[in-house]
Structure 1
Amino acid sequence: MKRPLVVVAALLLAGCTAAPPPPPPAPPPGPKAELGTWGVDLSGMDKNVKPGDSFYNYVNGAWDKQAVIPADRSGIGSFQSLAILSEKRMKEIVAGLEAKPVDQLTPDEKKLRDLYDGYMDEKAIEAHGLEPAKADLARIASLKSLKDVAKLMGSPNVSAGSLFAAGIGIDDKNPDHYSVNVSAAGLGMPDRDFYLLTNADIVKVRDAYKVFIATMLDMSGAKNAQARAEKVLALETAIAKVRWELKDQRDADKMYHPMSFAALKKSAPQFPWDSFFSEGGIPLNGGERQIIVGESTAIPVLAKLFAKTPVAVWRDYLTVHYLHSYASYLPKKFDDADFAFFGTALSGRTQQNDRATRAVRLLDSELGEAFGKLYAAKYFPPESKAKVEKLVSNLLKAYEADIKTLPWMGEETKKKALEKISQFTPYIGYPDKWRDYSALEISRDDVIGNIKRAAAFNWKRDVTRLDSPVDKAEWYMTPPTVNAYYNPPFNSITFPAAILQPPFFDPNADDAVNYGAIGAVIGHEISHGFDDQGSKYTGKGVLQNWWTEEDRKNFDARTAMLVKQFDAYEPLPGLHVRGAATLGENIADLAGISIALKAYHIALGGTPAPVIDGYTGDQRFLLGFGQVWRTKMREGALRSRILSDVHSPAEYRVLGATRNLDDWYGAFDVKPGDKYYLPPEERVKLW
């Protein structure tokens, strides 16, 4: 990557050579950034570490040594700190609602307050005991046949676990239409490998899961809970053996297997599909309704497993999964038993989040846009939205310029790629149109009923619009969410309000830092449109190949190098990053940082970047990038990330992206012999 050239007129003295012009002075101080004076926490750096030996530790090493993970968190860092801030702000909103006279609340505000107050009333929850769940548990206990079991699994009104996941999505090959989707499900732990691996740490987690199952059965009143727990775990282990690996689950082509409902029944006849769909209200059109099937080869095998498993085992399975789903709304002993596994054994936390934190998360989950509307109005000023929109525009321009000059892509594919860039839609901060919750009933004194009614409300909305045009203005995250996403069928990128603040975006920070931080995040999401899976979708969001065969082979050869690099990283002894499962995110990290740096250079307008506190513009950009990924995780949470997440651990996101970027070597004088030095021919060059 070349920096912009600056032509300078100079008077040359005979016999002398001209010295390069000095960089411009740093601009006069303006409003102080939240981190440091210009956006980077210099005190968090460890300058005893060579940048080439670990750029992550060079940027974050001192912070990491001092950082303390709160007892109620599985990790701490940039994302987690912002999540805590977002929770604090949501609590402030709730406090405002609590202070209002009830007759001054809007209908949505009243629902928010009632949902919050009901969840916070632990005394009433204890007094009610299992009574609010009594009817559902009695229904599970009364199941007599496999048809009964399948019917309950498919019920949108009871969250009791299911062998198959069914829902309304977007048709990847016809993105203007909604689709009915069915895929394999059935596991209580995060991934199949928690059931199948034999190393000691995984076995320990598996043993704890068995204790959890037995505890839940025992508290439900079951006799011989230990023996019954063995059978439930054996069932889930059998399911795990059939489920696809994560790398295959993220393959858009493999996961798109359309067939009619009649053909689905024929392909897996041992499962009572009519019963499964009977309570959902989906019009099946006499069996002609198209179903898009994921993990297609697993479906028939799981159907056979379903048929040979005794109803009694399914009853226990459903009881445990039901109690897990509703544990937070049941008496403390259920909540504590659930946390003992999912909070402590799985992720290492020793303490629950306080009840108020969990309560505001519940509001964000069940009434997300009603809550988000209040959040955005209070915490996301219009000037921040305007600045981020400008950044997005610059990133898209940088991507367009980059595509035009790619040496490895032919003109035919370039033309289609440029069409796709021109069709990107960015969504910043919050939706333009908010959801209508008027049909959702919320009762102050019926917590579990509220959760069930919210699920039925969302399901009815999905089914009602099944045969209507797709709403492409819909958001799939709420404004208080610290995250961002790319949606292939919409060809859109979305950045909720909560991520658009320091250390990701600070209007008072140096431009270089903002480009390295939120710029790289924006570039990351744009890049998902061109990663190994997103690149399979056209600019109109259709899952359809638009590459020449030669260009795709060239791209695949480069990404195979990236898979190999990440496979070599070993965050925990004997447990490596899974390069194929994390490939899309690793591509997006590398492309994101590359494009963001180009955009920063474009934004300089041909003038050299100032040097601030001894750091060049490129150095400040890279420090900003490294800083946003500072993360300290508990071992259990890190293990879960490696086994069940498509994202690499944060440290390796920094190391993997920077060592493939030529500019990093020049900016920090990285040389052969440094641990993460890569020879030029081994650096992956994509976008």
Structure 2
Amino acid sequence: MHPPLSEPASLSLLLTWFRRVEARVGRTTGTDPARGMGALWSQERPPEEGQPTERSRWQAMARQLLTTVLFLSVLLGSCVLFIYIFWSCRPRTCDTPVCRRLLDHYLKSGNISVAPCTDFFSFACGKAKGTLAEEIKRQLQRILESSGSWHPGSEEEKAFQFYSSCMDTDAIEAEGAGPLRHIIEELGGWQISGNWTSLDFNRTLRLLMSQYGHFPFFRAYLSPHPSPPHQLVIQIDQPKFDIPLGQELEQKNYAQILREYLTYLNCLGKLLGGNPSKVQEHAYLSISITSQLSRFLRPPGQQRTQGKLFQMVTIDQLQEMAPAIDWLSCLQATFTPMSLSPSQLVVVHDLDYLQNMSKVLEKQLLEHRDFLQSHMIFGLVEALSPALDSKFQEARRLLNQKVRELTEQPPMPTRPRWMECVEETDAAFKPTLAAVFVRETFSPSTQSAAMELFTAIKDALITHLRRLPWIDEETQKKAQDKVTQVQVTMGAPEWALKPALARQEYNDTHLRPSYLQSFLSSVRSRQARIIQSSFQPSPHHRWKVSPWEVSAHYSSSDHMVAFPAGLLLPPFFHPGYPRAVNFGAAGSIMVHELLRIFSQLLLPGCCQACDNRAVLQCLENHYAAFPLPHGISFNGSRTFQENVADMGSLAIALQAYKNRLLWHYGETTLPRLDLSPHQLFFLSYAQVMCREPSTQDSQDTHSPPSLRVHGPLSNTPAFARYFSCPRGTLLNPSRRCQLW
């Protein structure tokens, strides 16, 4: 090999080679090399030179022809390349079975005859029937009714037999109230049936709490401590009464509701063979006790305002403050095998209520001990009604119907028996049913694709945080760090992905000939599992969300987000869907949950470094201006934080989708819809909100479904651009709020 030339030597050699070429060209064309490159292309001849020869003219023409051919070749090649790139990047039609099913779902649920710029909710959801949660319950029904071959005595077989027992209404009707009467006798009976044994009040209460999972006067449960390090601790909370709070209703409505409850309790007493006159008397006193206790209940918001969300006290201190309850014996029986002592600390959520409750009970124990016994049994019968025959369930249905009418709530739709049995099997055999569900519906490839989507969403959010003008640089950095450090569980927890863990859960669950007895066995087994989890290291890290749930969860104590498989199934997500669908539906849900990490930044007055007061006020006015369906109420202050999160979920999911298109070509779309990928993105976003407005819960912190669609879309210029919405239409307003 020759040694490398120095820079001057290399340049000299190059110039020498160039002159030789120039001289050779000059000899061919008759030009002078000394005149340089300019002469090579000059068309002028000095006067002393003669006219060009015939040969030189042909050579010039050949050069021009060659130049033209080369130019046209380059032009043609560029056109071909441009057409290839254009057709390669152009969305292809997805005609796979999974896309055809999605297309069918969109066509059945939407109403494409509606103008999208004036009512996109109806455009996307105008014919929607049912919800994703209902569809997943149908999947569980199909699994539980399949003729699977299960190992005799296995936990899978127990779950399937439990469901079959629940569905065997003929056997339940044949048993009637017999199994329930037997339970009442074990508790000492009650006077309305004539065979009452005056037992100790706290003994009956211990049995109800430990054997039947029924808490008539307060709730006691294991839950992570409200403050770090969030260890599991016994918590004492207000009870949940079926009767609405009197302070929330007009006096005449509240009185009528009490009369409806009195009618219901009379019906229960008669179904259990009680003497009509005694039933009436005991039912009345039971309603009186509930009414007295309900006067002391305070909504969580009021507790928060008064700074009394929880207090730490010992069991001994609690005994002094509320002496009517034998706290140590009742809690010890309920939370066996935990070893409790008088010095054991517990979390109390409303000490004032417990003190007032104790006074009411002390008075009843002195004057009406037998009525107090009947009150506790009435409550137990109500709690067990799902496992009783049709007469008890019909009485409960009529009560619910009357109460909803009096509280001006829409009627509840009639639920089929299979749906109730699916829910009871879920509660009784959650780990086993979860393992089967994951195996049947959620493949490793789906989990991998969902994690890829989450990574794209998280990266877009981190980048987006740097661009927010209303928070300072330090706050931006802290917010980015929190998003970066968040942990995620995708699809299902470890115990659902490893069936061996689930099989260890149900050694103490015993199926009985009576469905009611099987039901109670499952209640005791479930309570024992919860208590046993407290002995495991870091028990609060154990994800208790069912894989089929359709709502994501963020745990501030664990700094972890969980996205159940129910959210990552069609029609919200599938690895074979167009990217627009996955980013618009599942992607926006992921953003919404991630925004909970720093939700306090979005509350007025909670972030001193945030200059967002004007834009937050703009958003409040923006939502208040939207029309709502007839009969649907809207509380802007209650839903404000969710409205802000809805805005962010759409904006950031859209940015993540654009980022993906920038680096990954080959997008697909659905046939027959005539929607571009971006239009499909917005359609899939709206599909997440498809549900009947009448199902809106008065205490729901989300806005009505139509407002959850129209609010964010109207604040997104890209939506108006892709759907060509005229200026001034509902979804292309003249003014927008630039929060995200």
TM band (smaller chain): 0.7 to 0.9
After superposition, residues 427-442 of structure 1 pair within 5 angstroms as 427-433=489-495, 434-435=501-502, 436-442=504-510
Give the corresponding residue for 1:321. 379
My pick for the range that moved more, 569-578 or 466-475, is 569-578
Give the corresponding residue for 2:488. 426
**Shift in CA distance, 675/210, structure 1 to aligned 2, threshold 3 Å:** farther
Which of residues 41, 55, 62 in structure 1 aligns to 2:120? 55
Q: CA deviation at 1:430?
A: 2.3
Give the corresponding residue for 2:343. 288
Give the corresponding residue for 2:106. 41
CA RMSD of aligned residues (A): 4.0
Q: CA deviation at 1:169?
A: 0.8
CA distance in 2, matches of 1:270, 1:110: 44
CA contact (8 A) 2:93 2:668 kept: no
Give the corresponding residue for 1:454. 522
**Shift in CA distance, 597/380, structure 1 to aligned 2, threshold 3 Å:** same
Q: CA deviation at 1:167?
A: 0.8
After superposition, residues 122-521 of structure 1 pair within 5 angstroms as 122-138=169-185, 139=187, 141=190, 142=197, 147-148=202-203, 150-151=205-206, 155-175=209-229, 177-189=231-243, 192=245, 196-198=248-250, 208-222=260-274, 223-224=276-277, 225-226=279-280, 228-245=282-299, 247=301, 255-269=309-323, 272-281=326-335, 286-295=341-350, 298-309=353-364, 310-342=368-400, 346=404, 348-349=411-412, 351-354=414-417, 356-433=418-495, 434-435=501-502, 436-466=504-534, 468-471=536-539, 474-521=542-589
CA distance in 2, matches of 1:28, 1:287: 70
TM-score of the aligned structures, taking structure 1 as reference length: 0.79
**Shift in CA distance, 657/239, structure 1 to aligned 2, threshold 3 Å:** farther
1:113 aligns with 2:160: yes
CA distance in 1, matches of 2:674, 2:629: 36
Per-residue CA deviations over 1:139-172 (Å, capped at 9, x if unaligned) read 263566654565456x132233422111111123
Aligned residues: 627
CA contact (8 A) 1:520 1:625 kept: yes
CA contact (8 A) 2:117 2:730 kept: yes
1:650 aligns with 2:705: yes
My pick for the range that moved more, 441-450 or 374-383, is 441-450
**Shift in CA distance, 396/251, structure 1 to aligned 2, threshold 3 Å:** farther
Task: Give, as a single letter, the amino acid of the residue that structure 2 aligns with 1:658.
Answer: L
1:589 aligns with 2:636: no
SS in 2 for 1:480: coil
SS in 2 for 1:179: strand
SS in 2 for 1:495: strand
CA contact (8 A) 1:261 1:284 kept: no
SS in 2 for 1:605: helix
SS in 2 for 1:56: helix
SS in 2 for 1:279: helix
CA distance in 2, matches of 1:594, 1:305: 54
SS in 1 for 2:346: strand
CA distance in 1, matches of 2:375, 2:354: 19
CA contact (8 A) 2:94 2:578 kept: no
CA distance in 1, matches of 2:350, 2:117: 42
Task: Give, as a single letter, the amino acid of the residue that structure 2 aligns with 1:353.
Answer: P
My pick for the range that moved more, 413-422 or 43-52, is 43-52
Task: Give, as a single letter, the amino acid of the residue that structure 2 aligns with 1:120.
Answer: M
Per-residue CA deviations over 1:104-163 (Å, capped at 9, x if unaligned) read 43621232233233333334333333332334323263566654565456x132233422
SS in 1 for 2:184: helix
CA contact (8 A) 1:486 1:528 kept: yes
Which of residues 123, 126, 138 in structure 2 aligns to 1:85? 138
**Shift in CA distance, 605/275, structure 1 to aligned 2, threshold 3 Å:** same
Give the corresponding residue for 2:91. 26
**Shift in CA distance, 671/33, structure 1 to aligned 2, threshold 3 Å:** same
CA distance in 2, matches of 1:29, 1:517: 18
CA contact (8 A) 2:201 2:373 kept: no
**Shift in CA distance, 334/484, structure 1 to aligned 2, threshold 3 Å:** same
Would you tell me which structure has more helix in proportion to its own residues? 2
1:524 aligns with 2:592: yes
Per-residue CA deviations over 1:537-586 (Å, capped at 9, x if unaligned) read xxxxxxxxxx98504x7568866776676678886867623344445544
CA distance in 2, matches of 1:460, 1:322: 20
Task: Give, as a single letter, the amino acid of the residue that structure 1 aligns with 2:265.
Answer: I
**Shift in CA distance, 431/180, structure 1 to aligned 2, threshold 3 Å:** same
Q: CA deviation at 1:317?
A: 3.4
CA contact (8 A) 1:260 1:288 kept: yes
**Shift in CA distance, 662/491, structure 1 to aligned 2, threshold 3 Å:** farther
CA distance in 1, matches of 2:217, 2:687: 42
Per-residue CA deviations over 1:587-636 (Å, capped at 9, x if unaligned) read 44333223222221221125799795653443221111112222126x5x
Q: CA deviation at 1:423?
A: 2.6
SS in 1 for 2:544: coil
TM-score of the aligned structures, taking structure 2 as reference length: 0.73
Task: Give, as a single letter, the amino acid of the residue that structure 2 aligns with 1:157.
Answer: Q
CA distance in 1, matches of 2:725, 2:284: 54
CA contact (8 A) 2:387 2:519 kept: no
SS in 1 for 2:237: strand
**Shift in CA distance, 148/229, structure 1 to aligned 2, threshold 3 Å:** same
CA contact (8 A) 2:579 2:668 kept: no
**Shift in CA distance, 515/452, structure 1 to aligned 2, threshold 3 Å:** same
**Shift in CA distance, 299/55, structure 1 to aligned 2, threshold 3 Å:** farther
**Shift in CA distance, 275/574, structure 1 to aligned 2, threshold 3 Å:** farther
Task: Give, as a single letter, the amino acid of the residue that structure 2 aligns with 1:601.
Answer: K
Q: CA deviation at 1:488?
A: 2.4
**Shift in CA distance, 512/468, structure 1 to aligned 2, threshold 3 Å:** same
1:550 aligns with 2:576: no
CA contact (8 A) 1:157 1:456 kept: yes
Per-residue CA deviations over 1:290-326 (Å, capped at 9, x if unaligned) read 3223345544444444444554554343223212222
CA distance in 2, matches of 1:236, 1:563: 39
Question: Which protein has greater RCO, CA pairs closer than 8 Å, 6+ apart?
Answer: 1
**Shift in CA distance, 440/622, structure 1 to aligned 2, threshold 3 Å:** same
Per-residue CA deviations over 1:211-243 (Å, capped at 9, x if unaligned) read 333322332344344554444444434444433
SS in 2 for 1:112: helix
CA distance in 1, matches of 2:388, 2:654: 51
CA contact (8 A) 1:170 1:178 kept: yes
CA distance in 2, matches of 1:200, 1:674: 45
CA distance in 2, matches of 1:416, 1:276: 46
Identical-residue share of aligned pairs (%):
19
**Shift in CA distance, 372/467, structure 1 to aligned 2, threshold 3 Å:** closer
Task: Give, as a single letter, the amino acid of the residue that structure 2 aligns with 1:386.
Answer: S
My pick for the range that moved more, 505-514 or 382-391, is 505-514
Any stretches of 5+ residues in structure 2 without a counterpart? Answer: 1-74, 76-84, 191-196, 405-409, 496-500
CA distance in 2, matches of 1:407, 1:85: 47
Give the corresponding residue for 2:498. none
Task: Give, as a single letter, the amino acid of the residue that structure 2 aligns with 1:448.
Answer: L
